[in-house]
Amino acid sequence: MKEDVPEQAGKPWFVYLVRAANGSLYCGISDDPQRRFIKHQKGQGARYFKTSPAQALVYIEQWPDKGEALRQERLVKKLRKSAKEALVASYAVTSGRVSPCGA
Protein backbone atom coordinates (compact mmCIF):
# COMPACT_ATOMS: atom_id res chain seq x y z
CA MET A 1 0.00 0.00 0.00
CA LYS A 2 1.09 3.57 -0.58
CA GLU A 3 1.38 4.65 3.06
CA ASP A 4 3.59 7.68 2.40
CA VAL A 5 1.54 9.12 -0.49
CA PRO A 6 -0.83 11.96 0.53
CA GLU A 7 -4.53 11.16 0.24
CA GLN A 8 -6.47 12.63 -2.65
CA ALA A 9 -9.42 14.75 -1.55
CA GLY A 10 -12.67 12.84 -1.82
CA LYS A 11 -11.02 9.52 -2.67
CA PRO A 12 -13.01 6.70 -1.07
CA TRP A 13 -11.44 3.90 0.94
CA PHE A 14 -12.87 0.45 1.52
CA VAL A 15 -13.05 -2.07 4.34
CA TYR A 16 -13.04 -5.60 2.97
CA LEU A 17 -13.14 -9.21 4.09
CA VAL A 18 -11.32 -12.02 2.30
CA ARG A 19 -12.06 -15.69 2.89
CA ALA A 20 -8.91 -17.78 3.29
CA ALA A 21 -8.62 -21.42 2.24
CA ASN A 22 -8.98 -22.52 5.88
CA GLY A 23 -12.36 -20.73 6.13
CA SER A 24 -11.13 -17.81 8.20
CA LEU A 25 -11.92 -14.19 7.34
CA TYR A 26 -9.23 -11.54 6.92
CA CYS A 27 -10.21 -7.87 7.34
CA GLY A 28 -8.29 -5.04 5.71
CA ILE A 29 -8.61 -1.62 4.09
CA SER A 30 -7.62 -0.39 0.66
CA ASP A 31 -8.35 2.34 -1.85
CA ASP A 32 -8.75 -0.46 -4.44
CA PRO A 33 -9.99 -3.71 -2.85
CA GLN A 34 -9.99 -5.68 -6.12
CA ARG A 35 -6.32 -4.89 -6.74
CA ARG A 36 -5.49 -5.66 -3.11
CA PHE A 37 -7.30 -9.01 -3.30
CA ILE A 38 -5.23 -9.97 -6.35
CA LYS A 39 -2.08 -9.23 -4.31
CA HIS A 40 -3.42 -11.38 -1.47
CA GLN A 41 -4.02 -14.23 -3.94
CA LYS A 42 -0.36 -13.97 -4.95
CA GLY A 43 0.68 -14.17 -1.29
CA GLN A 44 1.73 -10.52 -1.22
CA GLY A 45 0.66 -7.69 1.06
CA ALA A 46 -0.26 -9.72 4.15
CA ARG A 47 1.61 -12.52 5.89
CA TYR A 48 -1.80 -13.88 6.90
CA PHE A 49 -2.15 -15.60 3.52
CA LYS A 50 1.22 -17.38 3.61
CA THR A 51 -0.29 -20.32 5.53
CA SER A 52 -3.80 -20.29 4.03
CA PRO A 53 -4.20 -18.70 0.59
CA ALA A 54 -6.82 -16.06 -0.19
CA GLN A 55 -9.84 -17.63 -1.86
CA ALA A 56 -12.56 -14.99 -2.28
CA LEU A 57 -13.25 -11.32 -1.71
CA VAL A 58 -16.52 -11.73 0.21
CA TYR A 59 -17.34 -8.28 1.62
CA ILE A 60 -16.65 -4.65 0.70
CA GLU A 61 -17.92 -1.43 2.25
CA GLN A 62 -17.01 2.08 1.14
CA TRP A 63 -15.93 4.95 3.41
CA PRO A 64 -15.25 8.59 2.48
CA ASP A 65 -11.60 8.59 3.55
CA LYS A 66 -8.80 6.46 4.96
CA GLY A 67 -9.36 7.56 8.56
CA GLU A 68 -13.00 6.46 8.51
CA ALA A 69 -12.04 3.16 6.89
CA LEU A 70 -9.40 2.53 9.57
CA ARG A 71 -11.94 3.18 12.35
CA GLN A 72 -14.42 0.78 10.75
CA GLU A 73 -11.72 -1.84 10.21
CA ARG A 74 -10.93 -1.79 13.93
CA LEU A 75 -14.63 -2.29 14.73
CA VAL A 76 -15.00 -5.16 12.27
CA LYS A 77 -11.87 -6.88 13.60
CA LYS A 78 -13.41 -6.84 17.10
CA LEU A 79 -16.55 -8.65 15.91
CA ARG A 80 -17.10 -12.33 16.61
CA LYS A 81 -16.78 -14.61 13.61
CA SER A 82 -20.57 -15.11 13.56
CA ALA A 83 -21.09 -11.34 13.19
CA LYS A 84 -18.51 -11.19 10.38
CA GLU A 85 -20.29 -14.08 8.66
CA ALA A 86 -23.55 -12.09 8.95
CA LEU A 87 -21.85 -9.17 7.16
CA VAL A 88 -20.70 -11.54 4.43
CA ALA A 89 -24.20 -13.03 4.08
CA SER A 90 -25.87 -9.61 3.91
CA TYR A 91 -23.32 -8.45 1.32
CA ALA A 92 -23.95 -11.56 -0.80
CA VAL A 93 -27.68 -10.82 -0.79
CA THR A 94 -27.48 -7.06 -1.43
CA SER A 95 -24.80 -7.34 -4.12
CA GLY A 96 -26.45 -10.26 -5.87
CA ARG A 97 -23.45 -12.49 -5.20
CA VAL A 98 -23.76 -16.10 -4.20
CA SER A 99 -21.71 -16.87 -1.12
CA PRO A 100 -19.18 -19.69 -1.81
CA CYS A 101 -19.73 -21.21 1.65
CA GLY A 102 -23.48 -20.96 1.80
CA ALA A 103 -23.15 -18.30 4.51
Dihedrals phi, psi of 27, to nearest 5 degrees: -110, 135
Backbone angles phi, psi at 26, to 5 degrees: -105, 130
Predicted confidence at residue 43, as pLDDT, reads: 87
Q: For 13-94, CATH number?
A: 3.40.1440.10
> Are the C-beta atoms of residues 9 and 17 closer than 8 Å to each other?
no
Longest dimension (CA), the chain: 40
Which pLDDT does position 45 carry in this prediction?
Answer: 83
Confidence of residue 99 (pLDDT cuts 50, 70, 90): very low
- State pLDDT tens for residues 49-97: 988 999 999 999 999 999 999 999 999 999 999 999 999 999 887 776 5
Give dist(CA 9, CA 15) in Å, integer: 18
